[in-house]
C-alpha cells in the first residue's frame, strides 16, 4: 500500500512539474510575441512612445489572459492524467 501511495505522490509531483514547466514556456513566448507585436506596430505606424506603450499593455494583458487559460487547462489535464488508472502492459495477441 505504501508503494502505491509513494507512486501517487511522485506522479502528482511529476504532473505538477510538467504543467508548471509548460506554462512558463508558453507564457514567456506568448508575452514576448505580444511585446514584439506592439513594438512592431508602433514602429510601422509611427504611433509614438505613449501609444506604443498603451498598445503593449493591451496586448500583454491579452497574452496574460491566454497564459492563464493555458495554465488552467494544463493543470486540469495533468490532474486527470494522474487520476486515470494505469494502462496494463501485457503481451499482445
pLDDT of 18 higher than 70: yes
**pLDDT, position 81:** 77
Listed by start position, the domains of the chain span 26-82
| Rounded Cα–Cα distance for residues 46 and 66 (Å) | 27
Residue 1's pLDDT band (cuts 50, 70, 90): very low
Helices marked H in the chain — which ranges?
A: 2-44, 49-83
pLDDT of 58 higher than 60: yes
For residues 13-37, one letter each, b for 16 or more C-beta atoms within 10 angstroms of the residue's C-beta and e for the rest, the string is eebeeebeebbeeebeebbeebeee
For the chain, give the percent of residues with pLDDT over 90: 59
Amino acid at each position: 500500500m505504501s508503494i502505491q501511495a509513494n507512486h501517487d505522490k511522485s506522479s502528482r509531483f511529476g504532473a505538477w512539474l510538467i504543467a508548471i514547466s509548460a506554462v512558463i514556456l508558453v507564457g514567456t513566448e506568448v508575452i514576448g510575441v505580444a511585446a514584439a507585436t506592439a513594438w512592431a506596430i508602433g514602429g510601422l505606424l509611427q504611433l509614438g512612445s505613449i501609444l506604443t506603450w498603451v498598445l503593449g499593455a493591451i496586448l500583454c494583458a491579452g497574452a496574460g489572459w491566454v497564459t492563464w487559460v493555458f495554465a488552467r487547462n494544463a493543470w486540469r489535464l495533468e490532474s486527470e492524467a494522474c487520476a486515470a488508472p494505469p494502462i496494463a502492459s501485457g503481451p499482445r495477441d
